[in-house]
A and B are shown apart, each in its own frame.
Chain A
Amino acid sequence: MKRIMAFVLSLTLLAGTAFGANLPKLRVGYVPEPAHGLYFVAKEKGYFKEEGVDVDLFQFGSAAEGLAALKAEKLDVGTFGTTAPLLFISRGSEFTFIGGMMIGGQAIITRPERLAELSGKNLKVYKGKKIGLVKLSTGDVIFKGALKKAGIDYKKDISFVEFGTVAAVVEAVKKGAVDAGLVYPPHFSLAEKNYGLKVAHYIEEFYPDYTCCRIVAHTKEVNAHPETYRKFLAALIKAYKFYKTNPDETVKIYTRALKIDEDIIRNETYVKRVAESNPDPLRKGILDFWKHIQEAGYITQDYPIDRHINTDIYKQALDSVIKREPKDKIYQQMLTFYRKQN
């Protein structure tokens, strides 16, 4: 009996290996942020293989390193913010946005004694204030975009102090060197937990559904193998449903993958909902971001960025998943969201 079991197991392993070996492979780069967790869910739950794509995940410590690897064709896909890929594209890199990974997520922190002064629903509370930020971060670009939308001339009315790291921003807020600081997850949770700082606002309050962290790939590969990328995105769409319907297991998957405090992940992901992991490409959001990054003076030349956004593959992936489960409410919500945002 044991021999028969061993034989069956060997056959199963061989079949599994052959099955994996025949699938198209994608090397996917990411940075370790909690809201990038759909990759871990899709991997751990087997959605990539179910959809017919074999994915290897590679973690990077910075967007620049990740995009350099993508440019050097050591990666096929990457999620490295929004600013960084736009900068690379503006300098000639042939990348295409095919999806997203994170919406929102930036917060403004301050010292507890300054909280009352900065409360309220109007961005005018920041006029005349000194605000620390990480230059070229999503928060930098989007907060300036929100100020402009609110009719505030940020170049005149607000003093920005640029720092190289988010840790330096937190330190400046802590010491009172700035009135407030723009930070991203999980730094505001860490700042609250470790230093007693307070979140004055989430930028989402002033700028709903703004884009963060997009999925980019080589334009020529996307055009040559659209089906592979469709399968990849279909797996992420299924991971999104899992994340929306299985909070406890999702938190455990994120925690295992990122090795960040489980309470912080649960709090940011499901209690405060500071960011949403969502694979939608958010075409309109990318175009808005491009406009804001130009207004901030970081990219000076004009360029038809829309030609680097491909929403068709995501739509095909969503359609393929909906075809299998046409009555699923989550997928229907994703379709409604897609129609609004693209």
Chain B
Amino acid sequence: MTAAGMNILLGVILLLLNLTAAADASSQSSPLRLGYLEHPGSALCLAAGSKGFFRAEGVRVRLVRFHDTERGLAALAAGGIDAGAFAVGETLRQIAEGKELRIIAGGGTARGADPLADLDEAATLEQESGGIVVAVAAPPRAPGKEVLVRLVTALIRAYQSLQKEPGGIGHGAVHFDPNPDYRRIERLWRFHDLQGEKRPRDFLANHVYEEIYCDALDRLMDRTGTKDGVLQKLFSEAVCVPDCCPPVAKKRDKNKGGSR
């Protein structure tokens, strides 16, 4: 897809989604400032706002638009925003440079820009590097876990919604996936040769907070079970550590998050 094509697609998405970040009377003292890139892969954030999923999940969000990932990540590092949906390649590069970022969700990847991408793994990974992930600052600056789980739950619901609109943007030239997908990120990490020799083996894993996505998915699975085909597919693709334990002994409060 050309840059002009991407801009047109983004314009259409904005029009379709009627961008209005919802506010609600949840317990947050101030809205979570969610940066997003002018890129069709940011559509899950926009849809979650315009379709009221943030509000439905009890999280107040203010969307902040950025023209490029560098400025977005700089704002995240400076505390100007609380979370951001930016290009995964640049986000990984900044993590490798020592920026304290945590990837908590996926987004969308525009496909079709490079006709060789389907035939050449390097071209595919280059294209993937332009896709969107949602990142936050590392604790203690990051929003609380419960807020993040609600945020990602809303993004998954936005994904469900887009997938269920026949002929909508969920079925176009952008591949959406709310899963941060450690395996995909690790492929990109290696492709860009970011591991280096001296870095600890778990360096990347310490920067991908997949548990947030797993908890969000778990929360939605608890609500709908296996009845929702879109959700079931996401669940099948996720690699989440399962729950154990007899129900009488479970400490986890499903209304307050927890993990699998």
B182 proximal to A (CB < 8 A): yes
Interface residue A153 (Cβ < 8 Å from any Cβ of B): no
Question: Could you say which interface size class chain A belongs to?
Answer: 35 or more
Residues from chain A with a CB closer than 8 A to the CB of B78 are none
B225 touches A168 (CB 8 A): yes
Contact of A59 with B205 at beta-carbon distance under 8 Å, contacts A64-B214, A68-B259, A135-B242 already known: no
* Inter-chain contact B260/A64, CB cutoff 8 Å: yes
Contact with A62, one of B221, B248, B260 (Cβ below 8 angstroms)? B260
Q: Quick one: which of A92, A163, A300 contacts B203, CB cutoff 8 A?
A: A92
Question: Which of A60, A64, A68, A93 touches B202 (beta carbons < 8 Å)?
Answer: A93
Given contacts A65-B259, A68-B211, A91-B182, whether A32 and B249 have CB atoms under 8 Å apart is: yes
In the complex, the answer to whether A92 meets B250 with C-beta atoms within 8 Å is no
In the assembled complex, which residues on chain A have CB atoms less than 8 Å from the CB atom of B217?
164
- The one of B205, B246, B249 in contact with A92, judged by C-beta atoms closer than 8 angstroms, is B205
**Are the CB atoms of B236 and A162 closer together than 8 Å?**
yes
Q: In the complex the two chains form, is B246's CB within 8 Å of A32's CB?
A: yes
- Could you tell me the distance between the alpha carbons of A64 and B214 in the complex, rounded to whole angstroms? 10
- Asked whether any CB of chain A lies closer than 8 Å to the CB of B247, the reply is yes
Measured in the bound complex, the distance between the Cα atoms of B222 and A212 in whole Å is 26
Contact check, B235 vs A164: say whether CB atoms are below 8 A apart: yes
How far apart sit A92 and B217, CA to CA, in the bound complex (Å)?
Answer: 24
Number of interface residues of B (CB under 8 A): 37
Closest to A65 in B: B259
- 8 A Cβ contacts from A156-210 to B: 161-168, 172, 177, 184, 186-187, 190
In the complex, the answer to whether B182 meets A62 with C-beta atoms within 8 Å is no
Is B177's beta carbon under 8 Å from chain A? Answer: no
B67 contacts chain A at the CB level, 8 A cutoff: no
Residues from 51 to 87 in A contacting B, C-beta threshold 8 Å = 59-65, 67-68, 80-81, 83-84, 87
B252 touches A161 (CB 8 A): no
> B residues within 8 A CB of A166?
243
CB-CB under 8 A from B242, the residues of chain A are 63, 81, 83-84, 134-137, 140, 164
Q: Report the minimum CB–CB distance from A134 to chain B (whole Å).
A: 5
In the complex formed, the residue of B with least CB distance to A172 is: B226
B251 at the interface (CB under 8 A from A): yes
A/B interface sample: 23 pairs, CB < 8 A: A31-B244, A31-B245, A32-B245, A33-B246, A61-B243, A62-B244, A62-B252, A62-B258, A63-B241, A63-B243, A81-B241, A87-B241, A91-B182, A91-B204, A93-B205, A94-B201, A135-B235, A162-B236, A164-B218, A166-B243, A168-B226, A184-B244, A259-B248
Give 9 new A-B contacts, CB below 8 A, not counting A164-B235, A165-B222.
A31-B244, A62-B252, A94-B201, A162-B226, A164-B243, A164-B260, A177-B226, A259-B249, A260-B249
- Report B's interface with A, CB cutoff 8 A: 182-183, 200-206, 211, 214, 217-218, 221-222, 225-226, 232, 235-236, 239-252, 258-260
Chain A residues proximal to chain B, CB less than 8 Å:
31-33, 59-65, 67-68, 80-81, 83-84, 87-88, 91-94, 134-137, 140, 161-168, 172, 177, 184, 186-187, 190, 258-260, 298, 300
